[in-house]
Structure 1
């Protein structure tokens, strides 16, 4: 289908690809992965002919039909409806439709056989190309990507960049190409649209090459993983999870080969050094030196998974209630987003705010962050809450003439340069990288700088809007580690399911214009939600039966009600004890870290004894709370 042979592509003095090879076969569904700057998007441009190779070849059949989604399509402008723009995919059908309309007009005055024959031929071809269903097909794909019937009638120019990109994706899918080249297709999609696209691509009969940092998305679709690394294209015969396992095995083998070779080299070098001065051994020494020079050296295994080695702390912990939302209502012209809804963010909450675009996620996030004041109801910050807000528009607030290090020094003067370099190292800026000017950075690099700034703020509450956009997988892993170590509270909007599943302990979603909460991880929420919506038709039946169902008639007895009241009081008392004990545990942990304690054997022994005792009490209280909570839920049901 497409054959890449000995491809070399140079930018200045740097070889982005150096004699790279890859053969894309019919039916391949490949994920093209690699660090930012590894040349993934460049390779797609080379395939479609936007760039020319320095050397080597990219060959394909002349009639191969390629559908190419890339970020440059955002510049496409049209005052026509998005349904019309999507239908531009049907080039021949549209041409035939115009010709048929023209012939029909001519028939009003000219009934010649020539006109009738032309009309018949055009109509037959139009029908053979399924021309009468193209509007339905366009409507169906736009609906899958999140556009309502009314929105499909609106001009493309009235939509934001992210929504325009969806229209471009719809147009490409409607072209039914032989191969799809998709550069970060999920960047502008919400979770329902990502799931729809997964289903569509899974059933797509042609070949697919996807550049994406969304590992869950890749795992659902691809059957081959191609890693762009050090100028080469390394192929793995499986999805992203398979790639991780296979790469780990390959690196283990490579690591052992490297160690063995290094041991052999050292042994040879000792032998050469020992006999170098002896004339009788000169021939043997020269022979061994030449053998070492000719040896194919095994590279050491690079660490592609850096770990966070900096503790993100803040000077003051917040109170128990971080943000209290009461009777919040928010409307835009002709659109009600939130209606008389309430919510509570408590200390230690790691909240993922999820849902379809247009449901009010970003609006709610801005209300929580005090960035939107135009609403009714109250949003109250708790005691000692210090907040930082990260959103994509804040990349524009970076000072372009500053170096990366200067940007952080100016923002976080309390941190030493060593600490700031350590933080930047966590976000993959090492060595002289920290002296790069902000203005020369890519979008992903600017995102990492802005995230580093957010985490150096002395804040115990983080509000994060799509923090993984434009990040590669290594950077997403860094952010996951940072948030897992972060001891404060945060709320985050993201469509990256792997990211959400690794950082959230509570899910918020907006349903019927109200904030709803699920107390668990994203994966647990997905399992619960899939069962909840399996058969929506039965909801109506339940409403009818519900009035006569014994369960509905059954009311709690006075005894049950009194027991519930007592159990809830006990639960509240336990929560207070847990909070108090948790502070004692942290206080003793702080003492154990003091030199005055750990350098004094007697003090250390006594403090350790106290810590073990309090920690055991704390663990028991948590167990008691879980048992009591389960008992209360049993009584309520």
Structure 2
């Protein structure tokens, strides 16, 4: 499919790739990984032809369709609706639609056979290209990525960068390419959208190459890992977890080979030193020296997993209650976030605040930090000292400072040795600490900001997306740091591996209240998968009417027989609803096949909206039925 042969790419005097080789085969799902700065994004740009290799070649078939998602697409702007932008993927269908519209206008006055034949030919081609379903397909993918039906009609330029990236992803997916090249596709996505994307990619029939720092995402989606390291591309069969095991095994073998070779080299050097001065042995010594010079050296294994080896200290511990929220109410125009919400953060809590975008996670963090106005109370407990880390704080870094100077100014009580030790844990070693902030990448600035946050004298940390821009190595360091931290924290992140390794409580906003699950993220996921869900698809709360499962409408009582009776009643009602919704879907599908509808763009758009709504209601009812059936089976087995 794509063949990379002896690829060398120079960035200034540094070789990002040095005679690297890689062959991408049809149907492979590949995770391209490596530390920041090893050239992963550059390699994707070389494949699509944006960059030319310094030497070597990239070859592929001429008719290969490549779908390429990269962070540069954030700059794409349009006053058209996001539905219109997504449907730009259907270039030929859109062209045919316009031509059919023109012919339909022409036929009002010109009934000639030539016009009728042209119209018939265009309509046949349009139908063969599934043109009558393109709006439905666009609706479906945009809904999966978190856009409500109402949002799909809003102009692209009214959305933030993260949401624009989702629209561009939808457009690429609708083009049905032979291979997808995805550069950090989960950046700026919430957890429901990431899960939807995982499901979609698992059903994608073409090849996929994904650059990602999300370990759970890679484990779910890929069946092969290619590591970019020291200018080479090394393949590993399997997902990310297999890669870790295989790499550790290869490392042990390499370490043994290195030790054996070093012992052999030392032995040879002693023999050469011993006999080189003797005339009778000089020729033999020279021969051994030449053989030693030609020996292909085995490299020692580098430690890719540095450990955090310093203690996080604060001068005074907090009281038992760190934060107490009472009667918190907060809303924005057309969106209600909280209503009389309550919550308590106690000393030692490590809380992961999760949920879909638009549910108010960042708003709640700002309320806790005291930077957001709201109705109600948010009281800070005795001796609580707070540090709030948010992505906008990267902008507050002093660009003319070196990394070390930035930490010296922020944490004057720490010695230079302590600060350099902290920076070493965040992968700034040796002369790296003297780099100016202005020359750092986004990921490096995030590491500096995190190092600052963790050197504070704070016993309560508020962390808003701390894993953004961090590679897997840096995420591991942050995990270790927070595992050692003896204070209290609350964190928002879409990195499930991070959440599962640092949190002992889960908070989520539901029905305008703060709800808590007392356990790890993995335990929460298992519990959440078994309970009736408030909504069937990850659509933001901006939708005009939220459909709630019937299972939560009334308390079920305490008597098992009463519970079973009520659950069975609800199940029967849900089955009746499903039958009605199925009939509604069939009726609308028949309308979509009606020439009077599909030949009229206005009627077609209106009918497509009806279909999307009916399908959504059917999916919701089916999810409710499954949840109720699961509860009934559980009660009957007791």
Q: TM-score, normalised by structure 1?
A: 0.85
Structure 1 gap segments, 5+ residues each = 554-637
- Equivalence for 1:278: 278
- Counterpart of 1:492 in structure 2 is 491
Q: What is residue 85 of structure 1 aligned with on the other side?
A: 85
List aligned pairs for 1:235-314, cutoff 5 A. Answer: 235-314=235-314
Deviation at 1:533, TM superposition (A): 3.2
CA–CA separation in structure 2 for the residues paired with 1:165 and 1:535: 27
Match of 1:341 in 2: 341
Separation of aligned partners in 2, 1:472 and 1:542:
41
Distance 1:417 1:304 in 2: 25
Q: Give the equivalent residue in structure 2 for 1:375.
A: 374
How far residue 544 of structure 1 moved from its aligned partner, in angstroms, is 6.9
Q: Give 1:63 shift.
A: 0.7
Task: Report if the CA contact (8 A) 2:350-2:502 is conserved.
Answer: yes
Q: Give the number of the structure with larger relative contact order, counting CA–CA contacts within 8 Å between residues 6 or more apart.
A: 2
**Cα pair distance change 1:131/1:539, threshold 3 Å:** closer
SS in 2 for 1:546: coil
State the Cα distance separating 1:351 from its structure 2 match.
0.1
Contact kept, 8 Å, 2:532 with 2:552, in 1: the verdict is no
Pair 1:304–1:544, CA change in 2 (3 A): closer
Instruction: For residue 432 of structure 1, give the secondary structure of its aligned residue in structure 2.
Output: helix
Q: Is the 8 A contact 2:218 2:240 kept in 1?
A: yes
Match of 1:514? 513
Q: Within 5 Å, which residues of 2 pair with 1:4-19? A: 4-19=4-19
Query: Aligned pair in 2 of structure 1 residues 550, 230: CA closer, same or farther (>3 Å)?
Result: closer
SS of corresponding position for 2:265: helix
1:330-378 deviation digits (Å, cap 9, x = unpaired) = 0111211000011000000000000011011110011111121x10001
2:219 maps to which residue?
219
Which residue among 542, 550, 553 is the counterpart of 1:540?
Answer: 550
Q: Distance in 1 between matches of 2:44 and 2:214?
A: 18
**RMSD of equivalent CA atoms:** 1.6
Tell me the SS of whatever aligns to 1:115.
Answer: helix
Provide the residue aligned with 2:350 in structure 1: 350
Which residue of structure 1 aligns with residue 544 of structure 2? none
> What CA deviation, in whole Å up to 9, does each residue of 1:231-263 have, x standing for no partner?
010000111011001001100000000000000
- Is contact 2:349–2:488 with CA below 8 Å preserved after alignment? yes
Give yes or no for contact 2:450–2:466 (8 Å, CA) kept in 1.
Answer: yes
Query: What SS does the aligned partner of 1:297 have?
Result: coil
2:539 equivalent in structure 1: none
Match of 2:26 in 1: 26
Secondary structure of the corresponding residue to residue 507 of structure 2:
strand
- Shift in CA distance, 20/281, structure 1 to aligned 2, threshold 3 Å: same
1:295 is displaced (CA, Å) by 0.5
Give the equivalent residue in structure 2 for 1:450.
449
* Residue 540 (structure 1) shift: 2.8
Contact 2:532 2:551 in 1 (8 A): no
Alpha-carbon offset, residue 160 of structure 1: 0.6
CA shift for structure 1 position 201: 0.1
Query: Aligned residue for 1:629?
Result: none
Match of 2:424 in 1: 425
Gap change, CA 1:153 and 1:256, over 3 Å in 2: same
Q: Match of 1:589?
A: none
- Tell me what 1:404 maps to: 403
Question: What residue in structure 2 maps to residue 631 of structure 1?
Answer: none
Output the CA distance in 2 between the equivalents of 1:291 and 1:533: 72
Separation in structure 1 between the aligned mates of residue 23 and residue 413 of structure 2, nearest angstrom: 53
